[in-house]
């Protein structure tokens, strides 16, 4: 099951989050020039219908980014720089279609130890 984890930066939280380039092969086919949207399920069971990704142009290293419902997800989960997301692809057992899932974790300092809590 393909996945990636990312500690969020200020830009990730304010605007859009960069996706590892190698991971694009696991997302819906990119048609170029526009944002491709697809549903993403979070660990609470909510479905974000218009998660999207776009491949930025013009740079020597055009990184793919999540947009659209990404900002709503950030606001809903109260994410901040330093928080972590885990994005993975699972397969629907009935037909093998991909199911895209996301989880967010917040860093909590407790009695001198760091723990991660799902939100």
**CA distances to 4, 30, 46, 116 from 25, in Å:** 13, 9, 25, 29
What's the pLDDT score for residue 12? Answer: 94
Name the nearest CA neighbour of 88 among 18, 23, 12.
23
CATH architecture of 3-118: Beta Barrel (2.40)
Confidence of residue 21 (pLDDT cuts 50, 70, 90): confident
Q: Is the pLDDT of residue 59 over 70?
A: no
Tokens of 46: 């909510």
User: pTM of this prediction?
Assistant: 0.86
- Would you kindly state where each structural domain of the chain is located, as residue ranges? 3-118
Winning range, highest mean pLDDT, from 28-32, 37-41, 58-62: 37-41
């Amino acid at each position: 099951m393909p996945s990636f984890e990312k500690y969020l930066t200020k830009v990730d939280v304010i605007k859009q989050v960069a996706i590892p380039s190698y991971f694009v092969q696991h997302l819906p086919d990119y048609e170029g020039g526009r944002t491709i949207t697809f549903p993403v399920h979070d660990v609470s069971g909510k479905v974000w219908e218009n998660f999207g990704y776009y491949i930025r142009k013009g740079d020597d290293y055009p990184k793919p980014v999540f947009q659209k419902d990404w900002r709503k997800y950030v606001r809903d989960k109260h994410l901040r720089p330093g928080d972590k997301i885990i994005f993975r692809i699972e397969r629907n057992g009935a037909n093998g279609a991909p199911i895209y899932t996301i989880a967010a974790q917040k860093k909590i300092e407790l009695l001198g130890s760091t723990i991660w809590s799902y939100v």
